Each structure stands twice: as C-alpha cells, then as structure tokens.
Amino acid sequence: MRLIARLLLSALAFTTILPMIHGIDFHGNFGQALLLAVVFGLMLWVVDLIAIGVSAVLTISSFGLALLWLVPLWILGFWILPAIALKVVSDMMPGYITVNGWVPAILGGLVMLVIGMVTNGSSSKARKRIESRL
C-alpha cells in the first residue's frame, strides 16, 4: 500500500509541485508521470547502491579511516542523493522532464525526499515497537 501511495504522490509531485520550481519542466500527462515515478524510484535505488558501494570500498581500503569524513558526509549530505537521481532521470528521459542545473535538482530532490519520508512509515513502526514494550 505504501508503494502505491509513494508512486501516486511522486507522480503528483512530477505533475504539480516540481514544475513550480524554476528550472524544472515536466512534459506529459499523469500516466507518463507514473512512469517517471517508477524510473525515479529505480534510479534512486541505484544511486543509493553506488554511494554505499563507494563508501564500503573507501572504508575497507583505508582500514576504517575514511569513516572520519564519510560519516559526517552521510549525515550532512543524505539529501543530495535524490537530487542526483532526479538529474540522472532528466538526462535519461528529456522528453518527459528537464532539469536545468543543480539548484533546481536539489530543490526537486528535497521535495522527493519529503515524499519518501512521509510514505516510508518507519516512524510508525518504531512507535509501535515502543508502545508494545510499555
């Protein structure tokens, strides 16, 4: 159910919210926005895997010393991954969406990050675990 809600909210964001950001243009209808939401979700997954892989290689090759700068980088820069995914999707599918520059990509990525956080539901799972322990 959360997956359907995330896809619908992402498609709605592609059609309504993201075009309000100067530098992001959406060309299509709601069906194409659903396709774009699926591609964005897959691309975000790939970007996350690449970031985790690079972090793991750097950590192992430096015997853990890379964690001194990787941990603050992850804490401060977790919001940049949706921006990278949005920029890659716009480069892959310029007929559906165009993103002109990194500032609109970061703003659009923040919108998509908020949608992901709202539909994730991890906070409700944690709350249920806490309530069950009480």
The reply to whether the predicted model has a pTM over 0.95 is: no
Q: Which of 17-21, 75-79, 101-105, 126-130 has the lowest mean pLDDT?
A: 126-130
Q: Is 33 exposed, middle or buried (0-12, 13-18, 19+ CB in 10 A)?
A: buried
In the predicted model, is pLDDT for residue 110 greater than 70?
Answer: yes
Alpha helices, DSSP H, located in the chain: 2-12, 30-61, 67-77, 80-92, 102-120, 122-133
In the predicted model, is pLDDT for residue 43 greater than 70?
Answer: yes
pLDDT value, residue 74: 82
Give per-residue pLDDT as tens, 54-79. Answer: 999 999 999 988 888 888 888 878 88
Residue 2 pLDDT grade (very low, low, confident, very high; cuts 50, 70, 90): confident
- In sign, the C-alpha dihedral spanning 23, 29, 32, 37 is positive
All structural domains of the chain with their residue ranges: 2-49+80-122+126-130
